[in-house]
Amino acid sequence: MTEAIAFVGLGNMGGPMAANLVKAGYRVNGFDLAAASLETASANGVMIAASAVEAVKDASVVITMLPAGKHVISVWSELVKAVQPGTLMIDCSTIDVESARKAHMLAKEASCLSLDAPVSGGTGGATAGTLTFMVGGAEAAFARGEPVLQKMGKRIVHCGDSGAGQAAKICNNMILGITMAGVCEAFVLAEKLGLSHQALFDVASTSSGQCWSINTYCPVPGPVPTSPANNGYKPGFAAALMLKDLKLSQEAAAAAGAETAMGAHAAELYETFNALGRGGEDFSSIINYFREQSQKTGEARG
C-alpha cells in the first residue's frame, strides 16, 4: 500500500505543498479548519479527513503548515497522542525557536521523530515545488524526511539540531527585511538626485550593492520584469508576513542576548507600514512609504 502522509494546514502554502505530494504518488490525508482550503485540496487529490486526529490515523509522516507557534503547539499536543511511535512529525510553519523546540519535545515524549522545516520561496515556490527547506532535527529524522521534502522543494538544507531550521529562517528573513529597506531608500535617494532607476539598477546589481532585494526582487517597475513592483505591488511576500518574521527575529535576539540594531529598525519600519493598513501589499511596497515620507520632508522644508 502507498505510504500515507497527513497534512494539517492546507492554506496558501500548505495547499500547493500537499498537492505536490499527491503528484509524487503519496496518499495524502489532509485537514484544515477552513472549508475553502479543504475544497481546493480535495480538487487536487488530497483525501479530506474529519479532523486532524483522523488525518494522522494511518500516516507514517505528519506535516503541519500553520500560522504561528501557538497553533503548532496546540495541534501537535493532540496529534502526538494519536500517532504510532516512530512516526516522523515535520512542522514547516515559520514559528519562534522556543515553540519549535517545544514541539520537538512533544514528539520525543511520544517516541516520534521530528523536524522543524520552515520554507523560503513563497506561494510560487510552493506551487512549483521549488521551495528551500531549512531543517532542524536529529540526523535519523532528517534522513527519513529528506526524500519527502524533496517532492516539495529543490533545496533541502540540514541546519543542525532542534530549532536550527527556524533559527536559519529568521536570520535569513532579518537580512531580507534590512536589505529591502536599504534598497528602497537608495532608489528614493536616486530619484531625488535625478538618477534613473535603470542606471542605479545597472550599477548596483553588478557592484557591491548587489543582493536579492535588488537583483531578483527590484522594488521599482522595469529593471526586473517579474518583481511585484511591475504588478501593482501585489504579493509576492506580504508586508504583514515580513513584519511577523522580523518580530520573531527580535524576540529571538532578546532571548539570546544578540545586538540586532538594524533588524530592530527594520521591524519598526514594517510595524509603521502595517499600522497604515498596508500589510496586504508586497513588502517591497515600503518604497512607496519612503517616497511619501520624503515628499513630506521636502514640503516641510519649503
What cell was used for 297? 520632508
Q: Does 71 bind ligand NAD (CB under 6 A)?
A: yes
Q: In degrees, to the nearest 5, what angle opens at C-alpha 94 toward C-alphas 182 and 3?
A: 140
The phi, psi pair for 18, rounded to 5°, reads: -65, -40
Q: Cβ of 72: how many Cβ atoms within 10 Å?
A: 26
> Of residues 4, 5, 6, 8, which one binds ligand NAD by CB under 6 A?
8
Instruction: Please tell me the distance from the alpha carbon of residue 172 to that of residue 178, in angstroms, as a whole number.
Output: 10
Instruction: Point out the catalytic residue in the list 57, 151, 169, 192.
Output: 169
Q: Which of these segments, 182-190, 237-245, 268-276, 293-301, binds ligand NAD (CB under 6 A)?
A: 237-245
Nearer to ligand NAD, 33 or 195 (CB): 33
What cell was used for 138? 536529529
Q: Does 87 bind ligand NAD (CB under 6 A)?
A: no
Nearer to ligand NAD, 38 or 204 (CB): 38
Contact predicate 215/206, CB 8 Å = no
Q: Does 180 bind ligand NAD (CB under 6 A)?
A: no
Minimum distance from residue 65 beta carbon to ligand NAD (Å): 5
Beta bridge partners of 119: 133
Minimum distance from residue 58 beta carbon to ligand NAD (Å): 19
Contact predicate 291/236, CB 8 Å = no
Nearer to ligand NAD, 8 or 22 (CB): 8
Known active-site residue 169: yes
Minimum distance from residue 293 beta carbon to ligand NAD (Å): 27
Residues 27-46 within binding reach of ligand NAD (CB under 6 A): 31-34, 37
Q: Which residue is nearest to ligand NAD (CB)?
A: 11
> One symbol per residue from 121 to 150: x for binding ligand NAD (CB under 6 A), - otherwise; what is it?
-xx---------------------------
> Of residues 133, 201, 233, 237, which one binds ligand NAD by CB under 6 A?
237
Nearer to ligand NAD, 71 or 278 (CB): 71
Minimum distance from residue 172 beta carbon to ligand NAD (Å): 11
> Of residues 5, 7, 14, 30, which one binds ligand NAD by CB under 6 A?
14
Q: Which of these segments, 8-16, 158-166, 177-185, 218-226, binds ligand NAD (CB under 6 A)?
A: 8-16
Q: Which residues are catalytic?
A: 169
| Interface contacts to ligand NAD, rule CB under 6 A | 8-14, 31-34, 37, 52, 65-67, 71, 75, 93-94, 119, 122-123, 237, 241, 244
